């Protein structure tokens, strides 16, 4: 199963790593990886990647002299290039990356599983679930845009992924390491390192077990109409004119998906109910279910079932 070993908050900087530096990072990263694997083994390398401070230091030693969000992208990209030539020798494979590369992680893992004889479907599920936990079950204001999956020839893995908060100009890095943990969604994190930034939704807290169960009950007991109705009551601001109608438009001029949230939410809830998820990880992996769906279910579950 999975254990998260930490996170890191980083300033969000623009720009690109020059080609000459990217090449040097690949060369040096490959040599360092090979040295660690030969001296300490593949498991030790995965364990180190899963530590946010070691990962940051590794990037600096490889030659990345920015302390910002770019170190995550550059280190994962450099290792993916470096290990492509020696992955079978070392037994370490790198899937995913930034943006479109992160979305290709499942198909890369499936192909890898077929090629070297490990459980590609299980790894794909782990990849999707880790991403959903840090984007929907833990809602801390950072939107994921990078997902790197390191896996060994015997199926052990580390995930390094990063989210962005454009308003605060910050990035946050999350590290997961496969280990003997009972549940992806109940206290899977061994460490979270970051400055307090206000209230968050954390459905991985052990105290949220009732809330996770209550969301499943909502989907089986109530219709999508009823859930959306309850959600709108909870989120509708009171009219400043009492009973008189009051129109309040958003500051932006264009119509955005969040402005027609209720209609989309209804469709997502109906699809999730039809799937009949057996547990909370199953709900997170239901097509279309994301942070908004989970947040609305959690709010209604607190009212209907008293599960905070």
E strand segments, 205-293 = none
Is residue 48 within 8 Å of 36, Cβ to Cβ?
yes
> What's 136's DSSP letter?
I
| Beta-ladder partners of 1 | none
Check residue 134 and give its pLDDT: 93
Check residue 242 and give its pLDDT: 54
Residue identified by tokens 């809330």 is 211
CB neighbour burial string for 170-201, b if at least 16 within 10 angstroms, e if fewer: bbbbbbbbbbebeebbbbbbbeeeeeeeeeeb
What is the reported pTM? Answer: 0.84
Check residue 289 and give its pLDDT: 95
Within a 10 A sphere around the Cβ of 95, how many other Cβ atoms? 27
E strand segments, 38-169 = 92-98, 138-139, 143-152, 157-165
CB neighbour burial string for 212-248, b if at least 16 within 10 angstroms, e if fewer: bebbbebbeebebeebbebbeeeeeeeeeeeeeeeee
Is residue 159 within 8 Å of 150, Cβ to Cβ?
yes
Check residue 1 and give its pLDDT: 43
Is residue 64 within 8 Å of 77, Cβ to Cβ?
no
Check residue 139 and give its pLDDT: 93
Check residue 179 and give its pLDDT: 75
Element (DSSP H or E) covering residue 3:
strand 2-11
Which residue in 77, 47, 75, 55 sits closest to 63, CA to CA?
75
Q: Give every residue of the chain whose pLDDT is below 50, as ranges.
A: 1
Distance CA 157, CA 179 (A): 9
Which residue in 226, 185, 230, 188 sits closest to 208, CA to CA?
185
């Amino acid at each position: 199963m999975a254990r998260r070993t930490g996170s890191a908050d980083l300033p969000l900087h623009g720009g690109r790593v020059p080609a000459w530096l990217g090449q040097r990072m690949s060369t040096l990263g490959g040599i360092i990886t090979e040295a660690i694997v030969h001296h300490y083994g593949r498991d030790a390398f995965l364990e180190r990647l899963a530590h946010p401070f070691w990962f940051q230091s590794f990037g600096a030693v490889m030659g990345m002299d920015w302390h910002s969000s770019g170190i995550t992208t550059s280190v994962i990209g450099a290792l993916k290039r470096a290990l492509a030539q020696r992955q079978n020798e070392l037994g370490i494979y790198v899937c995913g990356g930034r943006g479109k590369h992160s979305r290709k992680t499942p198909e890369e893992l499936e192909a890898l599983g077929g090629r070297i004889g490990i459980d590609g479907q299980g790894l794909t599920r782990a990849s999707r679930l880790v991403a959903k936990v840090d984007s929907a079950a833990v809602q801390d204001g950072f939107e994921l845009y990078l997902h790197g999956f390191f896996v060994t020839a015997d199926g052990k893995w580390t995930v390094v992924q990063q989210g962005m908060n454009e308003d605060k100009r910050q990035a946050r890095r999350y590290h997961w390491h496969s280990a003997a943990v009972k549940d992806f969604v109940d206290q899977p994190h061994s460490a979270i390192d970051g400055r307090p930034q206000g209230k968050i939704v954390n459905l991985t807290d052990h105290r949220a077990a009732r809330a996770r169960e209550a969301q499943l009950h909502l989907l089986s007991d109530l219709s999508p109409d009823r859930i959306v109705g309850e959600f709108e009551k909870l989120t509708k601001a009171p009219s400043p004119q009492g009973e008189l109608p009051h129109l309040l438009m958003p500051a932006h001029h264009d119509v955005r998906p969040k402005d027609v949230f209720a209609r989309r939410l209804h469709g997502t809830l109906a699809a999730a109910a039809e799937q009949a998820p057996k547990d909370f990880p199953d709900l997170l992996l239901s097509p279309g279910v994301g942070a908004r769906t989970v947040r609305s279910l959690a709010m209604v579950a607190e009212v209907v079932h008293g599960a905070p």
